[in-house]
């Protein structure tokens, strides 16, 4: 009876995994399958089968999570705006927070700009992009 129970549980966990595709129950399916194999070889008590199930599932989770996290984080590609942070730009129109004016040229493209510190930055100054907010660059004067 225990072999049948663990076989059914393995199938249920596999079906749930196929339906979610989120790596939610794959470790439980492996644990149920390992417990089903163990219960084939002898008449062991249910608490021991449960211990095998929990242990195998936990070991599978512990082994696979670092691999999954490493693969998940390795696919990050920065957007174009993130690539502009840290680059130098030339002030094309005075950046003045009081009048709300300010334009810079970055890699041949004209951008609206705001001073990071709120100071006035004169035309033809060299500034560094510290942040991109939509179509506006937040800049600081080059030291």
Question: What residues make up the domain containing 25?
Answer: 2-74
Tell me, what DSSP letter sits at residue 101? E
Can you give the pLDDT at residue 62? 92
- For 116, residues 6+ apart whose C-beta sits below 8 A from its C-beta are 130, 131, 138, 139, 140
pLDDT exceeds 90 at position 58 = yes
pLDDT in tens, 74-109: 666 666 666 778 889 999 999 998 888 999 999 888
Any idea what the CATH number is for the domain that residue 88 is in? Answer: 2.40.50.140
Can you give the pLDDT at residue 78? 62
Asked whether residue 31 falls in the same domain as residue 85, the answer is no
pLDDT in tens, 4-57: 999 999 999 999 999 887 777 899 999 999 999 999 888 889 899 999 999 999
Can you give the pLDDT at residue 80? 65
Composition of the chain by helix, strand, coil, percent to 5: 50, 25, 25
Asked whether residue 37 falls in the same domain as residue 86, the answer is no
């Amino acid at each position: 009876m225990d072999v049948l129970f663990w076989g059914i549980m393995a199938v249920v966990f596999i079906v749930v995994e196929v339906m979610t595709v989120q790596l939610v129950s794959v470790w439980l399916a492996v644990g149920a399958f390992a417990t089903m194999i163990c219960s084939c070889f002898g008449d062991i008590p249910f608490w021991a089968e449960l211990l095998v199930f929990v242990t195998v599932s936990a070991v599978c989770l512990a082994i696979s999570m670092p691999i999954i996290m490493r693969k998940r984080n390795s696919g990050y590609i920065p957007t174009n705006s993130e690539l502009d942070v840290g680059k130098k730009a030339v002030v094309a129109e005075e950046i003045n927070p009081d009048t709300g004016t300010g334009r810079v040229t970055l890699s041949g493209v004209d951008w609206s700009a705001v001073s990071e510190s709120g100071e006035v930055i004169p035309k033809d100054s060299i500034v560094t992009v510290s942040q991109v907010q939509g179509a506006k660059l937040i800049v600081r004067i080059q030291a």
